[in-house]
Amino acid sequence: MKYYLLIIFIGFSTIAFSQKVDTLRVKETDTLLFNHETRTQYFCGLPLFSKRPEEVTVYSLKNPKPNTYYYIYNAKNKLVKEGKYIKNCVFDKQTTKGFCNFKTYYYAKNGKLIGINYIQNGRSFKFETYHKQQLKHVTFYDKHTGKITKIEEYENGKLQETLVYQKGKNGYYDIIRVK
């Protein structure tokens, strides 16, 4: 009898602790969860420099649950975004609503991963670039200014060189190579 009560207690205690953060795996194409809008996108965001504008579909959650970790997949079952939805995210006295700390995945037209953008407190702080499924570059950004602070270059998955950007005396940035 004591053995059964112990098993029941352990079973219910794990259920109670696991419900602090829900995890949802959703698809962008689900019309019950996402609004979608078709836009024309230009290379570099400027119509002057673009040769071919593309029509893209932008998705947004309709009624996201606060304190829920989302894995969002596209129509090809590729992970495009993962992160926790927070009701109020505060950074530098600015309050925003939505995903505060998340990752966005970018794919080439052939379906291969080309980049991962890491966002912390609503600001981009790291971007990983991939070529032929191998890590090639990691670019780090200053959270306040958005300027590049460091670039790490990889070859065959191993760190080859680091470029550190430091502000010089003349106001321009000096690049220091570290091997």
Residues 118-164: pLDDT tens digits?
A: 998 878 889 999 998 899 999 999 888 888 889 999 998 899 989 88
Structure-block tokens of residue 67: 């304190």
Q: Is the pLDDT of residue 173 over 90?
A: no
Give whole-number Cα distances, 79 to 28, 30, 45, 62, 97, in Å: 10, 15, 24, 19, 22
Considering the domain architecture, whether residues 164 and 107 belong to the same structural domain is answered as yes
pLDDT band (50, 70, 90) for residue 6: very low
Considering the domain architecture, whether residues 133 and 158 belong to the same structural domain is answered as yes
Tell me what the pLDDT averaged over the chain comes to.
79
Q: Which amino acid is at 43?
A: F
Considering the domain architecture, whether residues 94 and 174 belong to the same structural domain is answered as yes
Report yes or no on 43 lying in a domain: yes
pLDDT at residue number 113: 92
pLDDT at residue number 44: 54
pLDDT band (50, 70, 90) for residue 86: confident
Beta strands per DSSP E along 28-172:
34-41, 54-61, 68-73, 79-91, 94-107, 113-120, 123-131, 134-141, 148-155, 158-167
Highest mean pLDDT out of 7-16, 127-136, 170-179: 127-136
Report yes or no on 55 lying in a domain: yes
Considering the domain architecture, whether residues 48 and 93 belong to the same structural domain is answered as no
Report yes or no on 81 lying in a domain: yes
The string of pLDDT tens digits covering residues 109-121 is 888 999 999 998 8
Considering the domain architecture, whether residues 118 and 47 belong to the same structural domain is answered as no
The rounded percent of the chain whose pLDDT value lies above 90 is: 26
Domain that holds residue 58: 28-63
Q: Is the pLDDT of residue 78 over 90?
A: yes
